A and B are shown apart, each in its own frame.
Chain A
Amino acid sequence: AQSVAQPEDQVNVAEGNPLTVKCTYSVSGNPYLFWYVQYPNRGLQFLLKYITGDNLVKGSYGFEAEFNKSQTSFHLKKPSALVSDSALYFCAVRDGFSGGYNKLIFGAGTRLAVHP
C-alpha cells in the first residue's frame, strides 16, 4: 500500500535562512509526488510535482523539491524563507500502478513557522 511520511510536525526557521520540509514515501510502482500548501481556513494550493525527468523540480513561490529514488524522499526546499511562507505543507503521492482513479495519499502535514 502506498503511504507518505512527514516526520516533522513543525519546522521553525528564521526569515532569510534556507528551509527544508521532509517527506518520504512508499509505493509499489513509480511514484508521482506532489507538494501542496494550506493557509488557515483555506483549501490546498499546488506548489509542484514530480512525474518523471529531472530529479530537481522547481515550483511556485521559489520552492523546489528533490526526488531521491534511493532514499524514497521528496524534500521541499527554499533557499531563503519569508514570513509569508508560514503555513501548513502537505506532501502527497500517487502510485502509478494503483489503477482506478489514482487517488492521492497525503502526509500528516508539517507546519512551517518563519520568524522575523
Chain B
Amino acid sequence: GAVVSQHPSRVICKSGTSVKIECRSLDFQATTMFWYRQFPKKSLMLMATSNEGSKATYEQGVEKDKFLINHASLTLSTLTVTSAHPEDSSFYICSARTGNWVNEQFFGPGTRLTVL
C-alpha cells in the first residue's frame, strides 16, 4: 500500500513553544490530508481536513489559530501546535488520500508530543 511518513516521531518541548509536525505521502499524490489526535486508549478524533492549496477545514471545537495546518504541496502537510501547553500532549496522526473519495486513507506512524 501507499506510504505516509511523519516527522518527528517523538517530540518533547517546553510550555509556550511551537512545534511543527510534518506529514508526507512518499509514493503518491495526496489530494486530501487529515490530522487526527488520539488520547490514550481512545479513538481517533479528527481535527481538520485539508486539500492541497486550500485552507483547512477544522472540526468543531478545534482552535484553528492554535493548530495551524498548511498543505502546500500534493505530498506535504504540516501541523503546527502554537504556544503548546501540557494539555496539548497527545499522539497526533496524519492520513492522506488520493483522488477518488471512495479510496481508503493511508495513515502515518504518528507523532508523540509531550509538553512539559
- Identify the A interface with B (CB < 8 A): 32, 34, 36, 41-46, 49, 51, 90, 94, 100-104, 106-109
Residue B76 lies at the interface, judged by CB distance under 8 Å to chain A: no
Using CB atoms, name the residue of chain B closest to A45: B107
Residues from chain A with a CB closer than 8 A to the CB of B91 are 41
- A43 and B107 form a contact (CB under 8 A): yes
Interface size class of B (residues with CB under 8 A): 20 to 34
Please, how many angstroms separate the alpha-carbon atoms of A23 and B93 in the complex?
A: 23
Please, how many angstroms separate the alpha-carbon atoms of A49 and B57 in the complex?
A: 25
Residues from chain B with a CB closer than 8 A to the CB of A94 are 101-102
Query: Which of B42, B105, B112 is within 8 Å of A108, CB to CB?
Result: B42
- A90 and B110 form a contact (CB under 8 A): no
Residues from chain A with a CB closer than 8 A to the CB of B32 are 101
Query: Which of B1, B102, B109 is within 8 Å of A32, CB to CB?
Result: B102
- A103 and B49 form a contact (CB under 8 A): yes
List the 5 closest pairs (A to B, CB-CB), nearest first.
A43-B107, A44-B107, A43-B109, A102-B101, A101-B49
Docked complex: B27-69 residues within 8 A CB-CB of A: 32, 34, 42-44, 46, 49, 51, 57
Nearest CB of B to A38, in Å: 8
Please, how many angstroms separate the alpha-carbon atoms of A85 and B73 in the complex?
A: 36
Please, how many angstroms separate the alpha-carbon atoms of A102 and B105 in the complex?
A: 11
Please, how many angstroms separate the alpha-carbon atoms of A109 and B53 in the complex?
A: 33
